[in-house]
Structures are given as structure tokens and as C-alpha cells.
A and B are shown apart, each in its own frame.
Chain A
Amino acid sequence: MSDMKRILVIDDEPDIVYTISEICKFAGYEVVSANEGLKGVELLKEHNPNLVIVDYHMPKYDGLSTVKKMREIDDTVAIMVLTVDERQEILEKFMLVGATDFSLKPVKAPDLISRINVNLQINSMQMKNKEQEQSVFVEKGISSATLQMIMTYLEEQKEDQTIKEISKGVELAYQTVHRYIQYLIDNNQVELVSVYGKVGRPLNYYRLIK
């Protein structure tokens, strides 16, 4: 029973709460839900979920404040933000306050389930990190579990990868991968290789610096 993973769903739209909850239940997870941010924070304290799925736009207590508050309370829980906004700069704000990943609306059940699974995996890695008294966040917005995951993936690849390919490979949102790759480039662990095709902009590939 203790193995049963628990997911907290927060959205002001009852229809969306219902839909996401049904998908989570189908995937075999226990679900608790709230229709506003503050209530969600209460439920987090009460139920100790492994993953939180939270909406970006909410009246009263918006998504950003909710994520910030929850991260203060729990540093290992995976937090996935549901959004229609694809802009990197907006989503990076969320990562800075502690979101681990994103899911762009509208989402299909199978995709959401695999995204949920990856985030749950990140959560258990984070919990293990904490048990071993390692740092859970390398810096603001960069969780060690996600970083580990992306690094492992890149090590396994024989060819250079685009962000899209990495995103597909590790099953994390494009924006999330983009942020981490940027971090790795800044720390000289990954290098950028631009390939100029016949038409259009160059394709950016990334590879580990060994």
C-alpha cells in the first residue's frame, strides 16, 4: 500500500480536475484534488503526494504562488505545471520557483501518463538523494534528479541530439529540457553543434563534453 503513488491535482476548472483525475486513476495512482491554490497547499501538507499537477492560470491564488509555496514546504515532490502558454521565459519563471516539468494543454491520456511516470521517477530519485543527504537542487530551477536523468540519456546516445529528440527520449517537456541544456552549456558540460541544412535556420545539436 505504501507503494501506491499519490497525485495532487489543482485546477479551478472542475472539468479539468475531473479529466486529469480520471487519467491518473486509470494509470493506477491515488488522486486528491483541489480547485484552488491555497486548498492545494493544505492538501499537500495533509497527504504528502509524490506529484502535483497544477494549472498555470487560476483566480485567487495563481499557479506561480502555489508552486512557490509548495516547494517551500516539500523539496522532493515533483511539480508539473499544466499550461497553454508555451513561452520559454514564462515557464522559466515557474522553474525558478521550483516546478520540475510542464505539460501543454490539451494533452492526450497516454502522453500525460508517460509524463506522470517520468515525474514520479524524478520524485523517487529526489527522495533517494535526500536520504543520502545529497542536494536536491543544484541551483535555483535545476533539480539534481532531472539533471541526472538528462545526463544519463545523453551519455547513452551515440549521435548528437536536438532538444526535441532529448525531450522525446527522456519524456520531459521541451521547455524543461531547454532550461537544463542551457545550464549544462553554461557549466561547460555540453556543447552546441550547429548544422546548416539546405534550407532555413541551422539545426542545433548538443553533445556531452567528455
Chain B
Amino acid sequence: MSKFRIIEKTAIVGMTLLFLGFQLPSISEALWFNMVVDVRKAIVNGDSGHLVLTAAIWSIVSMLQGVFLLLGTTIFLGNLVEKISMKLGKVLFQGFSYIIINLVIQEYFFFEIELLTNILAGITTLFLINYVVTEKGYYGRNFVLSLQVFFAFQWLNIMPMLTFYNFGVSDLAGSIKIVSEYLGSTSVLNFIGLAFFISLLFSTLITTFLFLTNDRNIAIAKENYEKQLTLDAMHAKIVQTRVYEEIHTITHDLKTPLVTIRGLNSLLALSKEPEKIMEYTERVDNAAEKMSEMISGFLYEKKRRVVSTEEIIDYVRAQIPLEDESQKITFDFDEHLPLLYINKVRVSRAIINVIENAILVQTIKPIKKIHIRVYDNNGYLIIEIEDNGIGISKSQMEKIWEVGYSTKATTGLGLAFVRKVIEDNNGTVSMSSEENEGTLVKITLPNETMVDQEE
């Protein structure tokens, strides 16, 4: 229904324009009369200036007629043309219809038209419209382009030197040229015609170029906008993944004391031994206390407490994925490791992230080897995670700390999160890598005495 209405609307607009094109000579009858008067004045006064003025007015009127006919044709054909998929096909179809209309006018109406220039200008415009202004419905652009092209070509008609090639064969154009010969000013008209023709074509080119640039800028802006959207979506996904992983970790952790609570509590109901009751209830209470501590550690990122390095190591080791034949994870721990003042869940999660990266990275070696070394260096705890993967190239090295960057087509949440967590806990992370040899990530955390501890 609505499609039908659009066809109707374009058909009406097209018809109106065509009608204007047909009727322009009669509408502008007074103008034509003036032009004839001006030509006579030029003869009488021997004034070629009047001749040039007449030529200009005539060019404008002819240009308008040509533009109305062309745009009328294309708009009238409108949706019909859209069905043709090839651009050349469109140009040929529109051009053919346009030529027919011109021939009809030439043949059956009382006034003459400049067939050759109309056709040349029409075909040029059609090429520009179809190949440059690709979006349909850019009527303003079509109008601006066709005005310039037609105006340019009309100037060819008043050049005496082109009469031989069938330019300017209509009454008025012919009279102007004859008068110019009589006045001996053919070279003036030749020069002015050529000057206008060239500069107008030039301006057409510039306009076309501006349209193209504009389109490209819009396309770029659109692309950037879409990129931003995907980046935002990725960002959200990263946060979501991290939250999910943390939730996964924390639920796993929470179930440990829950085993004690549920197990011992259900045993309490069965057990008949009174001396066990005290022991069980105390254990259940301890487990509940542990749970509560875990929950606040999880809820408040800033919540930190004194934790032994061993506790962190055990926690991390219990969560790294299972070993298989293709990879070997080795550990090397110092005897005496410091106490830390950190948020256990988050720091552990960060370390696990680094280890997971090491596990996921591809290697050209037969077996993936990951070596984890933990030692004390003047009160600082150093955790080194080294793999023999394909490494990171220098160009990638600068980008790896950005959120959303990933070399593995994963979420790329890893390193940005790792750095934030470690820095939040007064530590530092550094990374060195050699391509095809491996990567070493070094995490440094100060011991608990070196950090200001808040209550």
C-alpha cells in the first residue's frame, strides 16, 4: 500500500517536471521576445556586449529546460529503474528514455531544441548521478549536478566554431552566431563559450569530488560509531565474564565451609554421643565464620587482610585447570615466604589469569612448559610465570595492557584486569617476551609490614 503511494508520488513529481520542460518556452515567451530585441540592438549598435548577454540568458533558459526534462524522466522512471541491478543498465535505460522524449519534442512541438547538447549533457549527468551519487533519493544532489552540466554544455551552442558539428542549430543560437559574424566578434563568442564550458565542467568535477568526500566521511563516521558500539559491547562482556569467573570461584570457595556445616549438622541429628555435640557445633561455627569472611572479601574490593603466601599458592593451585600430556606445569617455591596484606580472592584470580594465559598460548615446541617460581626478594614477594609459547611481538607488546585486547580471539580481559588488581594491592606487574621462545610475567607484591594497613 505504502509502496504504491511512493510510486504515485514520484510519478506525479516526474510528470510535473516533464510538463515544465515542455512548457518552458511558452511560459518564458516574454523572455524570448526580449532576447530577440536584444539581438537586434546588438546589430543596430554594433555592440557585441548585448550579444554575449543574450547568449547567457539563452543558455540559462535552455539549461533549465534540459534539467527539467532529464530530472523529470529519471524521477518518473524512479522505482522502475531500481529493479535494474547493473549501473550501466540504469544509465542506458534512463538515457534511452530521455533521448526518446527529446526526439518527441523535436518532432511534434512547435519549438526547437538543441538535440546534440541536450543528449550529451543528459548522458554525462546520468553517469554522474548513477556512479557518484549512489544513494537513491538524493534529489538535491542530482539537481545541483545537472544544473552545472547542462549550463556548461549550453555554452557550446553559441560558439561559432562548433556550428560545423551541429551545435547551436536552433533559431536563436543560430541568429546569435550569424550576428557575431556580422559584427566580427566570433572569436569573442568562441572564447567566452569555451571559458564558461571549461570552468563549469571544472566546477562539476569539484562538486562531485565534494559529494564523494562527504560520503566517505559519513561512511567513516558510521564505521567508527559501529566500532565503538562493538567495543562497548565487548567491554560489557569482559566485565560480565570476569564477574562470572569470580562468582564461580567464590561459590566454589563457599561450598567448602558449607560441606562442614551441612555435613556436621546432619551428623548432629544422628549422633547420640553427647561429647561430640560440643565439638561439632564449634566446628560448624568456625566454618560459618570463614564463610562470612569470604563473603566480605568478595563484596568489597578494597577489603584486605593478612594472608600467607602459602595460602595464596594453595588457593591458586587448586584452581588451575587439570594437567594433560601436552603441557607440563612445574613449581619452584622458596622455603620462607612473606605474609601479604591483600584481597585474597582478587589477587588469586589475577594470578590464575596469568597462568591461564600461559596455558592457552600456542607453542611451537613439542610440549608446553610452564614454570612458576615464587620467592622473596628483600621483603617483596616475586611471582614469576614463564611459558615457552609463541611469545608476543614488540608491536603487540604495547597493546596488551589495554582492555579488550587479545591475541587469542578471547575476551582479552586478562592483563588489564591483572594490572589493576595487582596495583590496587600495592604491587607491580611486568612482562617480557621473545617471539617463539616464550613469555615471562613477573608480579611483585610488598610484604604486609611495608603496606599501610587500614582498619
**Interface positions of A (Cβ within 8 A of B):** 12-13, 15-16, 18-20, 22-23, 26, 57-60, 62, 64-65, 82, 84, 93, 105-110, 112
Contacts and interface: CB of A to CB of B under 8 A. Distances in A.
Contacts of A15: 256-257, 259-260, 283, 286-287
Given A16-B256, A105-B258, A107-B262, A57 B267 contact: no
A26 B322 contact: no
Nearest to B272: A26
Contacts of B237: none
B283 A109 contact: no
Interface stretch (B22-30, B103-111, B182-190, B313-321): B313-321
Given A59-B314, A64-B322, A109 B251 contact: no
A18 B266 contact: no
Contacts of B269: 109
Contacts of B313: 59
Nearest to B315: A59
A176 to B, nearest CB: 19
Nearest to A15: B260
A57 B317 CA distance: 9
Nearest to A93: B322
A38 B260 CA distance: 24
B263 A108 contact: yes
Given A12-B318, A65-B323, A105 B271 contact: no
B267 A58 contact: no
A38 to B, nearest CB: 13
Interface in B252-289: 252, 255-264, 266-267, 269-271, 276, 280, 283, 286-287
Contacts of A22: 263-264, 267, 276, 280
Nearest to A85: B252
Contact of A23 (B256, B267, B287, B314): B267
A89 to B, nearest CB: 12
Contact of B264 (A19, A58, A110): A19
A17 B286 CA distance: 15
Contact of A19 (B259, B270, B314): B259
28 contacts: A15-B257, A15-B259, A15-B260, A15-B286, A16-B260, A18-B260, A19-B259, A19-B263, A20-B263, A22-B276, A23-B263, A26-B267, A26-B270, A57-B252, A58-B318, A59-B314, A59-B315, A65-B323, A84-B255, A105-B259, A106-B255, A106-B258, A106-B259, A108-B262, A108-B263, A109-B263, A109-B266, A109-B267
Nearest to B321: A62
A112 B271 contact: no
A28 B314 CA distance: 33
Q: Is the interface of B mostly helix, strand, loop or mixed?
A: helix
Contact of B271 (A26, A93, A106): A26
Contacts of B261: 106
Contact of B314 (A12, A82, A84, A109): A12
Nearest to B324: A64
A26 B256 CA distance: 21
Which of the listed residues A16, A19, A60, A108 has the most CB atoms from chain B within 10 Å of its own CB?
Answer: A19
B255 to A, nearest CB: 5
Interface of B: 251-252, 255-264, 266-267, 269-271, 276, 280, 283, 286-287, 313-319, 322-323
B290 to A, nearest CB: 8
A109 B270 contact: yes
Contacts of A23: 263, 267
Which of the listed residues B252, B255, B258, B267 has the most CB atoms from chain A within 10 Å of its own CB?
Answer: B267
A24 B393 CA distance: 56
Closest 6 CB pairs between A and B? A59-B317, A109-B266, A19-B263, A106-B262, A108-B266, A106-B258
B435 to A, nearest CB: 32
Contacts of A19: 259-260, 263-264, 267, 283
Given A15-B257, A15-B287, A59-B317, 5 more contacts: A12-B318, A13-B256, A15-B283, A106-B255, A106-B263
B259 A16 contact: yes
A60 B315 CA distance: 11
A97 to B, nearest CB: 10
A113 B105 CA distance: 104
A62 B323 contact: yes
A108 B270 CA distance: 11
Given A60-B317, A109-B270, A84 B263 contact: no
Contacts of A64: 322
Contacts of B258: 105-106
Nearest to B310: A59
A64 B257 CA distance: 22
A109 B316 CA distance: 29
A55 to B, nearest CB: 9
A9 to B, nearest CB: 12
A110 B266 contact: yes
Contacts of B318: 12, 57-59, 62
Which of the listed residues A65, A82, A108, A109 has the most CB atoms from chain B within 10 Å of its own CB?
Answer: A109
A109 to B, nearest CB: 4
Given A26-B267, A64-B322, A65-B323, A107 B259 contact: yes
A20 B314 CA distance: 21
A57 B251 contact: no
Nearest to B284: A19
B275 to A, nearest CB: 13
A60 B287 CA distance: 24
A57 B252 CA distance: 10
B366 to A, nearest CB: 21
A39 to B, nearest CB: 15
Nearest to B267: A109
A7 to B, nearest CB: 14
Given A12-B314, A26-B270, A57-B318, A105 B255 contact: yes
Contact of A18 (B270, B283, B315): B283
Contacts of A65: 322-323
Contacts of B286: 15
Nearest to A57: B318
